[in-house]
Amino acid sequence: SYVLTQPASLSVAPGKTASLTCGGNNIGNKGVHWYQQKPGRAPVVVIYYDTDRPSGVPERFSGSISGNTATLTISRVEAVDEADYYCQVWDGATDQVAFGGGTKLTVL
Amino acid sequence: EEQLVESGGGVIQPGGSLRLSCAVSGFIVSRNYMSWVRQAPGRGLEWVSIIYSGGDTYYADSVKGRFTISRDSSKNRLYLQLNSLRVEDTAVYYCARSEAAADPFDVWGQGTLVTVSS
């Protein structure tokens, strides 16, 4: 099965930039989606297909791909951004969905 | 409004069976790709199974042969039959929609908790 690797945690001060990474083999060929999950709530997509942002998601959220790493960037971090973030792809070779292990973002 | 509401969770002994249900409103279940995603307590998201709009079904290796995904178009519902349950199947189970296999999950339910314990 396809493996996505995320750091377990990241801490950032308010107003700074958070860069959350997601590594996977040939990830640039997959189409990466990013979800935000707050305690007790279902996940919400914040970036889809690497760089697209759903309506209603602040412009502070952006996505990028470089080599075997996808990155979710949150600019001017706010306390409300504190949450768990997951990357996800569909693996067409196996018709399976893969999630990364998630990164817990703490706003200091 | 597009909405998913799961039910059927509970406490079950190892080796037991359970059927989860996901009531769909605001869209047609058979015209979309529907998945089950679970989350063990304090852990990350784990994809479990998907049913394509055409009816094909796929499973995570961890549940293959034990779980079965299905849908009822007349009731506009999605199901997950859980057999031979193990302690490690304890999790909140979410149903989720995507409009194609590679698309993001854009609609999620609130989840239903399955606890496997003796």
Residue of B2, B36, B45 to mutate, interface with A, max A Cβ within 10 Å = B45
Name the minimum distance, in Å, from the CA of A101 to any CA of chain B.
6
CA distance B103 to B111: 20
User: What pLDDT shows up at residue B89?
Assistant: 98
Residue with tokens 């039959």: B81
Task: Give pLDDT tens digits for B54-80.
Answer: 999 999 999 999 999 999 999 999 999
Mean pLDDT (chain A) is 97
User: What pLDDT shows up at residue A20?
Assistant: 98
CA neighbor of A35 nearest in space, from A90, A91, A107, A103: A103
High-pLDDT (> 70) share of chain A, %: 100
Mean pLDDT of A37-60: 97
Count of residues making up chain B: 118
Name the minimum distance, in Å, from the CA of A13 to any CA of chain B.
24
Do the Cβ atoms of B61 and A1 come within 8 Å?
A: yes
